[in-house]
Amino acid sequence: MIVVKVGGSAGIDYDAVCADLAARWKAGERLILVHGGSGETNRVAEALGHPPRFVTSPSGYTSRFTDRQTLEIFEMVYCGKMNKGIVERLQRLGVNAVGLSGLDGRIFEGRHKDSVRAVENGKVKVLRGDHTGTVERVNTGLIELLLGAGYLPVLTPPASSYEGVAINVDGDRAAAALAVALRADALLLLSNVPGLLRDYPDEASLIREIPAGDVEAYLEFAQDRMKKKVLGAAEAVQGGVKRVIFGDARAGQPVTAALEGAGTVVS
Ligand SMILES: Nc1ncnc2c1ncn2[C@@H]1O[C@H](COP(=O)(O)OP(=O)(O)OP(=O)(O)O)[C@@H](O)[C@H]1O
């Protein structure tokens, strides 16, 4: 079983990702796709007059402040345009894909965090009304039901809180939780960069290998949102996933290339 997470940053070639996935699926490989949608969410939020707000925690992690209106825009893009766009591509390629969010059947479940600590103008502030959380539980029963019946699951945030409230969760860490829960052989984190760069944005500074026991030491090279990807990789290998690969989804055969070792391989 392979869990593939494809991001939502500018430059990602979803046609290439879906064509590669479809070929592998038809050859008999068991796959699950998790996707993001941050770039398009930012664009739509601006267009709707509710621009995105990113906050940085005292420990340096950046996240989207998700008030109720932002959550609704997030759902429009992630569960709507992005999810259905990917499902349509796969259907056209002859793969019976089913697109679901983490809310559906509580595929992804976690605790709702209503407030976030953010550093603004050098001061730590507590912002309330946030709809975020971290995936703590995965409904593997529903995923296995779909896979067992021949459907390729295409999953996206948000998740469900334990009270049934929609929460924005990091897609990379959700994919890591899924890979752990399903005892996946590999987790691919595909985005618009060749992998983890030692000297971002210099693409020649690609880090090719990271020893599984040492992932957190590489957090220092990741800026902003890349930090969550590195954290997700650490969680996956600690949870027993044998290989995590940060790969490039901009062209070619992104899934195959990553599985063949292009990108940053954590093992
Ligand atoms: N050291 C680094 N190496 C590679 N990319 C980095 C690094 N530091 C920061 N980045 C940034 O991290 C981004 C990838 O993370 P991001 O979460 O934005 O992408 P995504 O997974 O495509 O999106 P989504 O949140 O929609 O799933 C890259 O586009 C790059 O700009």
d(CA 174, CA 137): 9
Give residue 71's domain range: 2-51+67-108+135-266
d(CA 266, CA 27): 26
Whether the per-residue pLDDT at 62 is higher than 90: the answer is: no
Q: Is residue 129 part of a domain?
A: no
Query: Cβ distance 134 to 111 under 8 Å?
Result: yes
Task: Say what percent of the chain tops pLDDT 70.
Answer: 100
Q: How many Cβ atoms sit within 10 Å of the Cβ of residue 90?
A: 23
d(CA 174, CA 136): 9
pLDDT digits 0-9 by tens, 123-163: 999 999 999 999 999 999 999 999 999 999 999 999 999 99
Contacts of 197 (CB under 8 A, 6+ apart): 203, 205, 206, 207, 221
Q: Is residue 82 part of a domain?
A: yes
User: In testing the pocket of ligand 1, which one of 40, 193, 196, 250 has its CB within 8 Å of the most ligand atoms?
Assistant: 193
- Say whether the ipTM exceeds 0.90: yes
Mean pLDDT across the stretch 159-188? 98
Query: Cβ distance 249 to 17 under 8 Å?
Result: yes
Q: Is residue 117 part of a domain?
A: no
CATH of the domain at 164: 3.40.1160.10
Domain count, the chain: 1
Mean pLDDT across the stretch 90-95? 98
Q: Is residue 18 part of a domain?
A: yes
User: In testing the pocket of ligand 1, which one of 9, 198, 207 has its CB within 8 Å of the most ligand atoms?
Assistant: 9
Q: Is residue 119 part of a domain?
A: no
d(CA 10, CA 42): 11
- Closest-lying ligand 1 atom to the alpha carbon of residue 196: 3
Q: Is residue 60 part of a domain?
A: no
Q: Is the CB of 190 under 6 A from ligand 1?
A: no
Q: Is residue 252 part of a domain?
A: yes
Q: Whose CA is nearest to atom 29 of ligand 1?
A: 192
Mean pLDDT across the stretch 159-186? 98
- Give the annotated binding-site residues for substrate: 64, 168
Pair of tokens at residue 241: 């996933």
pLDDT digits 0-9 by tens, 194-244: 999 999 999 999 999 999 999 999 999 999 889 999 999 999 999 999 999
Fill in the DSSP letter of residue 168. B
Q: Is the CB of 200 under 6 A from ligand 1?
A: yes
Query: 191 — phi, psi (to 5°)?
Result: -145, -160
Whether the per-residue pLDDT at 180 is higher than 90: the answer is: yes
Q: Is residue 59 part of a domain?
A: no
